[in-house]
């Protein structure tokens, strides 16, 4: 019998778990042709999430729980899931019921047809602020243009991955993770299905604007070196303009003399160039920071407990 793992990363989801679990049970009951594993990754929650999970495990041996030693973020929590999943395929589901489990049978259907990566594309983004929608659209467009392979718009982490995809993803151990990009990077046979993304059941999205911004920077810098090129190109054009202007100044001084003038324009140029230089250094710094982090070769995460047993 084929085994399917449902991976749920959880960070402070004690209110959502009692709503999610019955949905998953319903799904598993309706699809008894498969063996199921519910793999919950407790990402250092501060509330009763872990207790809720253990209660579930006591009633249901299909539940497996990895508890991390602190909050590592969803990207890392998913890597933990890739490492611990036992299934022949895996479906990643958010704990807040924004990803309807009712879509999973359709995903399995396509998996059985030979697709390795069945992902759900949002028709609507649910209730999100206008600014948030705008920003995320802008980000996707930027990323699309700056990298060499398809980055998908309006596609989240809700997807079914074949064992081959999981194994490929497990080999990608970078510390600054942008998993959405990795799904595209590994390739394999992909299938898109559409759905309406609901609203978060309980609680707030734990992504603040600042976190989203830093995820965006991670996304761009880990999948493209285009920003580094921007400074080269800008530098080239500015030097060209400066050269032309130099000739103008030279010829003017030669034929019409050189009355001291142009203090404001001088200041503007200096400030402008200074700004560009700082920006370029900042961009380089982003990459160097990543090289630094990567070169430390730290483990990607620390597990505290697996199924109530302390991991040493
Ligand atoms: N999550 C996590 N670690 C974090 C933040 C979030 O494991 O540091 C989980 C969270 O519990 C949820 C999923 O990631 O299951 C998506 O989180 P959220 O709903 O906050 O994000 P959004 O739906 O806005 O993308
Ligand atoms: Mg959510």
Q: What is the pLDDT of residue 93?
A: 93
Q: How confident is the model at residue 233 (pLDDT cuts 50, 70, 90)?
A: confident
Ligand 1, atom 8, residue with closest C-alpha: 73
Q: Is the CB of 53 under 6 A from ligand 1?
A: no
Reference 51, options 65, 62, 71; nearest CA is 65
Q: What is the pLDDT of residue 133?
A: 77
Let me know: does 198 contact 127? Beta carbons within 8 Å: no
Q: Is the CB of 89 under 6 A from ligand 1?
A: no
Q: Is the CB of 162 under 6 A from ligand 1?
A: no
Q: What is the pLDDT of residue 88?
A: 93
Q: Is the CB of 209 under 6 A from ligand 1?
A: no
Q: How confident is the model at residue 171 (pLDDT cuts 50, 70, 90)?
A: very high
Judged by its nearest atom, the ligand closest to the C-alpha of residue 76 is 1
Reference 30, options 95, 90, 104; nearest CA is 104
Q: Is the CB of 39 under 6 A from ligand 1?
A: no
Let me know: does 81 contact 7? Beta carbons within 8 Å: yes
In tens, the pLDDT along 45-99 reads 998 899 989 999 999 999 999 999 999 989 999 999 999 999 999 999 999 888 8
Q: Is the CB of 140 under 6 A from ligand 1?
A: no
What's the CA-to-centroid distance between 279 and ligand 1, angstroms? 32
pLDDT (average), residues 218-232: 76
In tens, the pLDDT along 100-125 reads 888 899 999 999 999 999 998 887 65
In tens, the pLDDT along 269-304 reads 888 888 788 888 888 888 888 888 888 888 889 999
Q: How far apart are CA 73 and CA 91, in angstroms?
A: 18
Let me know: does 28 contact 62? Beta carbons within 8 Å: yes
Structure tokens at 122: 């949002």
Q: How confident is the model at residue 201 (pLDDT cuts 50, 70, 90)?
A: low
pLDDT (average), residues 167-182: 87
Complete DSSP assignment for 139-203? HHHHHHHHSSSPPPTTEEEEEEEEHHHHHHHHT---SS--HHHHHHHH---EEEEEE-----SSS
Higher-pLDDT residue of 221, 145: 221
* Residue ranges of domains in the chain: 3-224+299-310, 226-295
Rounded to two decimals, the pTM is: 0.76
The domain 3-224+299-310 is placed in CATH, from the list 3.20.20.140, 3.40.190.10, 3.90.550.10, 3.40.50.620, at 3.90.550.10
What's the CA-to-centroid distance between 68 and ligand 1, angstroms? 15
Higher-pLDDT residue of 174, 41: 41
CA of 9, closest atom in ligand 1: 7
Q: What is the pLDDT of residue 214?
A: 79
Q: How confident is the model at residue 147 (pLDDT cuts 50, 70, 90)?
A: low
Ligand 1, atom 13, residue with closest C-alpha: 94
pLDDT (average), residues 218-234: 76
**pLDDT over threshold 70, residue 199:** no
CA of 8, closest atom in ligand 1: 15
Judged by its nearest atom, the ligand closest to the C-alpha of residue 156 is 1
């Amino acid at each position: 019998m084929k085994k399917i793992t449902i991976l749920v990363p959880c960070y402070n989801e004690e209110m959502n778990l009692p709503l999610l679990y019955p949905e998953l049970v319903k799904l598993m009951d309706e699809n008894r042709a498969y063996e199921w594993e519910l793999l919950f990754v407790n990402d250092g929650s501060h509330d009763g999430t872990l207790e809720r999970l253990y209660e579930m495990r006591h009633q249901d041996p299909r539940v497996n729980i990895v508890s991390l030693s602190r909050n590592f973020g969803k990207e890392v929590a998913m890597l933990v899931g890739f490492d611990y999943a036992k299934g022949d395929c895996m479906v990643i589901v958010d704990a807040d019921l924004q990803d309807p489990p009712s879509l999973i049978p359709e995903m399995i259907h396509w998996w059985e047809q030979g697709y390795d990566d069945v992902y759900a594309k949002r028709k609507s983004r649910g209730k999100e602020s206008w600014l948030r929608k705008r920003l995320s659209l802008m980000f996707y467009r930027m990323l699309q243009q700056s990298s060499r392979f398809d980055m998908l718009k309006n596609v989240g982490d809700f997807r079914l991955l074949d064992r081959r995809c999981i194994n490929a993803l497990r080999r990608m151990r970078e510390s600054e993770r942008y998993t959405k990009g990795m799904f595209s990077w590994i390739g394999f046979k992909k299938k898109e299905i559409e759905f309406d993304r609901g609203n978060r059941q309980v609680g707030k999205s734990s992504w603040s604007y600042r976190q989203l911004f830093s995820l965006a920077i991670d996304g761009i810098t880990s999948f493209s070196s285009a920003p580094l090129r921007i400074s080269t190109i800008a530098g080239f054009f500015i030097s060209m303009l400066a050269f032309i202007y130099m000739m103008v100044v030279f010829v003017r001084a030669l034929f019409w003399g050189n009355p001291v003038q142009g203090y404001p324009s001088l200041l503007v140029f200096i400030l402008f160039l200074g700004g560009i230089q700082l920006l370029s250094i900042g961009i380089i710094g982003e990459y160097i920071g990543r090289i630094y982090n990567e070169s430390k070769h730290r483990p990607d995460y620390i597990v505290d407990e697996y199924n109530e047993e302390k991991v040493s």
